[in-house]
Amino acid sequence: MTPKDVLKLTKEKGAKMVDFKFLDFIGIWQHFSVPINELSEDIFEEGLGFDGSSIRGWQPIHASDMLVMPDPATAIMDPFSETPTMSLICDIVDPITKESYSRDPRNIAKKAEAYLKSTGIGDVAYFGPEPEFFILDDVRFSTGANHSFFYLDSNEGIWNTGREEGPNLGYKPRHKEGYFPVPPTDSQEDIRSEMCLVMEQVGIQVERQHHEVATAGQAEIDMRFDSLVKMGDKLMWFKYVVKNVAKRWGKTVTFMPKPIFGDNGSGMHVHQSIWKGGKPLFAGNEYGGMSQMAMWYIGGILKHARALNAFCNPGTNSYRRLVPGFEAPINLAYSSRNRSASIRIPMYSPSPKSKRIEVRFPDPSANGYLAFAAMLMAGLDGIQNKIDPGQPLDKDIYGLSPEELSKVPSAAGSLEEALEALKADHEFLLKGDVFTQDVIDTWIEYKKKHEIDPVKLRPVPHEFFLYYDC
């Protein structure tokens, strides 16, 4: 779609406003809107100015001017605005140099796609994330010098079987039994279906929706795979749609990896493959029907997994889910069918087009553009250096003896460990100037200053249970 096409589309749809969306460094959509008569073809070339110092992880105040450059190919009518509004996803540009901004996550994703093509290995990398989330009915949290608490509630929560509901009908999924009973135990079929239909309005092809394992409204909606940048865009629309449909129903959604104690957290398994000239490159005669290239790609992911955790599991809460011996796959091994491995080779179909790997440790708090780009760069490093992934692990990893388990490396155990791993292992990300040293340093500095240290400094409620009478 060209700028001229966008102007034509706005007239056809009766748009009265234009909304410019872009992603901050951490992974939250930002936006501002202008009346439709302010939209011209020139904006697509000249951009619109904004204050980059007010965006997390971006510019200092003495160099704050930045430009948003709308991408005409992303023009979609916003499905939630009461005023008819055309939405455009934007890239970020330096107003002086006119160069793409190095800390713009979408720019990093674009550079990863360009680097793949430059290697000659392939011309497109496909990604298919499976973001899980909780649909809740109430959330309250507060922290201060003398208090700290959070409180979540769900009409589905198993803890509410004894609550006066006038009447309480009792259909509430037990812990770890939400996958996947029919209604009335699954009370959220209709809200998830509405989410799917709105996703289709914004160009997301939905493959399925279902209740997930946990009680209290854990859900999953699966999208059909797409190329890296397009899937980064779709993941942002996905979160936007899910949250806003939930709000219509008087509910709230969180993509926090581990909001509820004692039940499964929310992961984001990411399917990925490389193609060239319209042909899949991951099908072959190696283990699980994979090609040698795919095995090397797996080798790269496994080698760099702890550094990848810094982008794929980017919050302190991520590591409440990645705990040894529990549901999340923290052991760095690969297998076909075995869902306790951190990399799985799906075996649903023998078709070469279906051959892909599924990386299972990421979670949906990740900035999709950065996580997908980082995994692609790790996989390409594996291909370029012919990194052997070792032998597959087809046993149930949770049933291994301590001696056997000691031979299997594990993912980072905390965000601090992940950032240390990234600090020591990031050369593979710098190839092709995809990630810059400034991006790596800023990510580490931001996460330590704004997330790790504030969490470290605060007592948590369970510590009072453990230590108050010491």
> How would residue 334 be classed by pLDDT, with cut points 50, 70 and 90?
very high
Asked whether residue 32 carries a pLDDT value surpassing 80, the answer given is yes
Q: 10 to each of 42, 165, 348, 388, how far by Cα in Å?
A: 16, 47, 42, 52
Give the model's pLDDT for residue 395. Answer: 76
Rounded alpha-carbon distances, angstroms, from residue 87 to 77, 368, 410, 418: 6, 19, 42, 35
The whole-number pLDDT of residue 408 equals: 85
What pLDDT score was predicted for residue 270?
A: 98
Average pLDDT over residues 63-70: 87
* Residue 62 pLDDT: 64
> Could you tell me which of 336, 337, 318 has the C-alpha nearest to residue 328?
318
Q: Which residues pair with 148 in a beta bridge?
A: 143
Q: What percent of the chain has pLDDT over 70?
A: 97
Rounded mean pLDDT, 312-317: 97
- As a whole number of angstroms, the distance between CA 456 and CA 470 comes to 21
Q: Which amino acid is at 38?
A: E
Residues 322 and 329: their CA atoms lie apart, in Å, by: 7
pLDDT digits (tens, 9 = 90+) for 397-446: 767 777 877 788 899 999 999 999 999 999 999 999 999 999 999 999 99
- Res. 247 pLDDT band, cuts 50 70 90: very high
* Longest Cα–Cα distance in the chain: 71
Q: Which of 266, 322, 274 is nearest to 295 (CA)?
A: 274
Nearest CA among 128, 189, 43, 159 for reference residue 371: 128
Give the confidence band of 393 by pLDDT, cuts at 50, 70, 90: confident
Mean pLDDT calculated for residue range 273-286: 96
Hey, which residues are catalytic here? 51, 130, 132, 212, 220, 269, 339, 358, 360
Give the mean pLDDT of the chain: 94
**Which region among 252-266, 284-298, 395-409 has the lowest average model confidence (pLDDT)?**
395-409
Q: Provide the pLDDT confidence category of residue 237 given band limits of 50, 70 and 90.
A: very high
Q: Is the pTM of this model over 0.85?
A: yes
Q: Is the pLDDT of residue 63 over 70?
A: no
| Per-residue pLDDT tens over the stretch 154-170 | 999 999 999 999 999 99
Helix then strand count (H, E) for the chain reads 15, 18
Q: Write the CB contacts of 171 (distance below 8 Å, at least 6 apart in sequence).
A: 184, 185, 187
Q: What per-residue confidence (pLDDT) applies to 188?
A: 96
**Which tens digits make up the pLDDT trace of 115-171?**
999 999 999 999 999 999 999 999 999 999 999 999 999 999 999 999 999 999 999
Mean pLDDT computed over 94-106 = 92
pLDDT at 175 over 90: yes
Q: What is the pLDDT of residue 61?
A: 64
Q: Mean pLDDT over residues 241-258, rounded?
A: 98
- What is the rounded CA–CA span in Å between residue 389 and residue 61? 46
pLDDT at 323: 87
Q: Which of 305, 309, 291 is nearest to 345 (CA)?
A: 291
Q: Looking at residues 177-203, what average pLDDT do you find?
A: 96
What's the average model confidence in pLDDT over 363-367? Answer: 97
